[in-house]
Chains A and B, each alone.
Chain A
C-alpha cells in the first residue's frame, strides 16, 4: 500500500510519467474485480451448428423488425455479417483450413467488466449493471459515436438514417429478462446448448473443465477471460480465436488505457499556471531591469556629458583667464614699452619740436 502511494506521488511529480499507462493501478489503492455475482454467457463453438435460432430469439424478445430473409434461410451465412441497429446478434460461418466442417461463432456485445463504451461516454449513457450486463440510456445520448470508436469489438451500432432521434443500439444481455429471472433471448432459443448462461465465475470453471476433459476438442484458451480487462461473455473454440474473426485484444481495460492521460489533466491545471505566471514574471522582471539599466545608462551618459562640458568650460575659462592675463601682461609690457617709447619720444620732442608722433602712439593704449 505504501509503495503504491509512493509510486502515485512519483507519478504526479512529472507530467511525462503520468502519461504512462501504469498510473491507474498506482492511483487506486484498491483493485477492482467487478461485480461478484455478475452473470455471463459461454458460447461453445464446438457445439454451435449455425441454425440461427439465437438470432431469431434475440429478434423476438427485443421486438426488432423482421429481416427480409427468414431466420430459416441459412444461405445468409455465406456472407460475413455484423450487428446493426436492427440486428443485435449474428452468427458467422468460418471455413478453417484443415477442417472438413465449418465452425460457427455468434457475436453480440461482450459486456466487458470494464466497458470501453462506458469509459468513453461523456454523458454516462452506459451502465455496467450488477448482473453483468452493460446497458444504454438513449435519453442522455448526444450521438457523438465515441463509444463505437472505443469498443474493441466494434459492437455499438448507430441509427444513421434517423434524423430526429438516432440512438446507439446493441445487445443488452436481455437485462430486463434477467431481472425477471428469465434467460436471455438467444440462450432460451439455442437447441444445442452451445450457449450457457450463468455466473461468470462459474462459467470460467465450466469452460476450464471442458478444456480439461476434452483437450482434443478445444484450444486451451477462454476468449474473454482477460480480453480488455475481461468480458462477461466468454468463448470456447476448437480453433484459434483469430480464425473465427475475433480481434486480438490486450489485457488492459479501457479505464487503464486512458487513466494516464486523464491523470495528466489535473497536473497541467496545477503546474501550467505556475510555470506560465513564472515566465510572465521573469519577462516582466527582465523588462524592469532593462528599463532600469537604460535609465542608469542615460543618467550616466547625461552625467558624463555634463562633466565633459563642465571640463571644457572650465578649460575654456582657464584659457580665457590665462589669455587675459597674458594679454594684460602683454599689454602692460606694451604699455610700459610704449610709455618708455613715449617718454623717450617726449624726451626727444623736448629735444626737437615735432609733436605728431606722440598722439599716434597713444592710441593702442586706449584700446587695450
Chain B
C-alpha cells in the first residue's frame, strides 16, 4: 500500500475514510454493548 500513496493528503484520505466508517460502527456498538452490560440489572426508569 505504501508505495501506492505518494502524498500525505492521499494517505489521510485513505485512513480517515476508514476511520469514519469505524466511528459509525463504534457509536452503534456502544448502545448494544451497554444493553448487554446492564441487561441483568433491574430496569431503571428512562424518562
Which chain B residues numbered 3 to 41 have a C-beta less than 8 Å away from chain A? Answer: 5-13, 15-16, 19, 22-23, 26-27, 30, 34
The answer to whether A119 touches B9, judged by C-beta atoms less than 8 angstroms apart, is: yes
Which residues of chain A are within 8 angstroms of B27 by Cβ–Cβ distance?
269, 273
> Which one of A24-32, A60-68, A179-187, A303-311 is at the B interface?
A24-32
- Residue numbers of B with Cβ under 8 A of A are 2, 5-13, 15-16, 19, 22-23, 26-27, 30, 34, 44
Q: How far is the CA of A119 from the CA of B16 in the complex (A)?
A: 12
Q: Cβ of B8 and Cβ of A36 under 8 Å apart? A: no
CB contact under 8 A between A269 and B8, given known A124-B13, A284-B44: no
The one of A30, A115, A262, A270 that contacts B12, using a Cβ cutoff of 8 Å: A262
Contacts of A262 in B (CB 8 A): 12, 16
- Contact among B2, B8, B44 with A255 in the assembled complex (CB-CB below 8 Å): B8
**A residues near B23, Cβ cutoff 8 Å:** 265-266, 269
Q: Report whether A269 and B26 are in contact in the complex, using a CB–CB cutoff of 8 Å.
A: yes
Residues of A276-299 at the interface with B, using a CB-CB cut-off of 8 Å, are 277, 284, 288
- B2:A30 contact, CB within 8 angstroms: yes
The interface residues of chain A lying within 8 Å CB-to-CB of B44 are: 284, 288
Tell me whether A253 and B12 are in contact (CB under 8 A). no
Q: How far is the CB of A272 from chain B (nearest CB, A)?
A: 10
Q: How many residues of A contact B (CB 8 A)?
A: 33
Number of A-B residue pairs, CB cutoff 8 Å, is: 59
Show 20 residue pairs from A and B whose CB-CB distance is below 8 angstroms, ordered by the A residue.
A24-B8, A30-B5, A32-B7, A32-B8, A32-B10, A32-B11, A36-B6, A114-B7, A115-B9, A124-B13, A128-B7, A253-B8, A254-B9, A255-B9, A256-B8, A269-B23, A273-B27, A277-B30, A277-B34, A284-B44
- 11 other A-B residue contacts (CB within 8 Å) besides A28-B11, A269-B26: A28-B8, A32-B11, A114-B7, A119-B9, A124-B13, A253-B8, A259-B12, A269-B27, A273-B27, A277-B30, A277-B34
- Chain A stretch 228-286: residues in CB contact (< 8 A) with chain B: 229, 253-256, 259, 262, 265-266, 269-270, 273-274, 277, 284
What are the 9 tightest A-B residue pairs by CB atom distance, in nearest-first order? A269-B23, A32-B8, A255-B8, A273-B30, A35-B6, A30-B2, A255-B9, A255-B12, A266-B19
